[in-house]
Amino acid sequence: MQCVLLAAGYATRLYPLTENMPKALLKLGGKTILEMVTDKIDEVGEVENIYIVTNDKFFRQFDEWSANVYKGPKRVKVLNDHTTDNENRLGAIGDLKYVIDGEGIDDEILVMASDNIFGFPLTDFTSAYREKNSDMICAHTIENKDDLHSMGVVVLDGDGKVISFEEKPEHPKSDLGVPPFYMYKRETIPLIDRYLAEGNNPDAPGHFIPWLIGRKDVYAHVFDAVRIDIGTPESYYDACDRLEKGILFSK
C-alpha cells in the first residue's frame, strides 16, 4: 500500500501565517501538523511509502522537513507539481494523478490531506477497509450543522455502503461529514484517469466519490472521535489552545 499526502494548496485563508510557510508545517506545540499526521500513518504496517505532493513555492520546505525532521520508519518522497499559485494549481485529484503517473503506482493507495489531525487510530480505518475489501471513505457525525455546507456529506445504508455523497450541499441529507481520508483498491486507480478525462472537477478530493459510487461499491468507516481541519486562523489557534489545555482530542 502507498500513501499520498495532499499538500499543494496555498492556504490563503490562513494568511499571514502561511504567506511563507506551508500550512502542514505550522507547529502545534512541539510538533508540526504534518508530524501529527505521519505519526498516525507510521502505525499502519501496510504502508510502504509516503508521497507528499506540494507546489513549487513550498517544495523546498517540505523536502527539508522530510530530510531533517521526519524520523519514522517509512520512505518519504516529496514531489513538486510545479504549480505556482491558485490560478494554475492542479487540484487535489489532479495532484493525485500526478503522483500516480509520476511514480508509476500500481497498488492500493491511502489518500489523505496533510492538514487534518484526528483522535482515532488510522489502523481502525485500514482494518475496516480489509474487512469490506472495497474502496472506503471515512465519516463522522458533525455537531455544528452549519459546517455540513462546507464539506462532503454522505448517506449510508445499514451495512455502511455509501448510497449518496454530496460535496458542500445546500440541503444536507444527513449529519455525517466526510473528512479527506480515502482508501482505493488497486483496480480503482485507472478510474481516476477516466474521471479526469471526462472533464470532471479536479479540485476537492471528495468530488471523485459521487462519480465512483455510480460504478463501484464504496463503504464508509464511521468513527467517533475529534477531527480538526486546520483551515483558518481561528481553527489553528483553537487547536493550539486545546493542546495547551491538554484537551486536543477531547469532546
Distances, alpha carbon 199 to alpha carbons 167, 194, 212, in Å:
17, 9, 14
Give me the pLDDT at residue 14, please: 93
**What predicted TM-score, i.e. pTM, was given to this entire model?**
0.94
Pairing state between β 75-80 and 181-184: unpaired
Rounded distance between C-alpha atoms, residue 117 and residue 119, angstroms: 7
pLDDT digits (tens, 9 = 90+) for 6-44: 999 999 999 999 999 999 999 999 999 999 999 999 999
Give me the pLDDT at residue 251, please: 82
pLDDT digits (tens, 9 = 90+) for 202-251: 988 888 999 999 999 999 999 999 999 999 999 999 999 999 999 999 88
Q: Please report, for the chain, the start and end positions of each structural domain, with discontinuous segments joined by +.
A: 2-244
Q: At the topology level of CATH, where does 2-244 sit?
A: Spore Coat Polysaccharide Biosynthesis Protein SpsA; Chain A (3.90.550)
Give me the pLDDT at residue 215, please: 95
Give me the pLDDT at residue 204, please: 81
Mean pLDDT computed over 184-195: 96
Contacts 24+ apart (CB under 8 A), 65-70: 65/25, 65/32, 65/34, 69/32, 69/35, 70/35, 70/38
Per the CB < 8 A criterion, the answer to whether 1 and 46 are in contact is yes
Give me the pLDDT at residue 93, please: 94
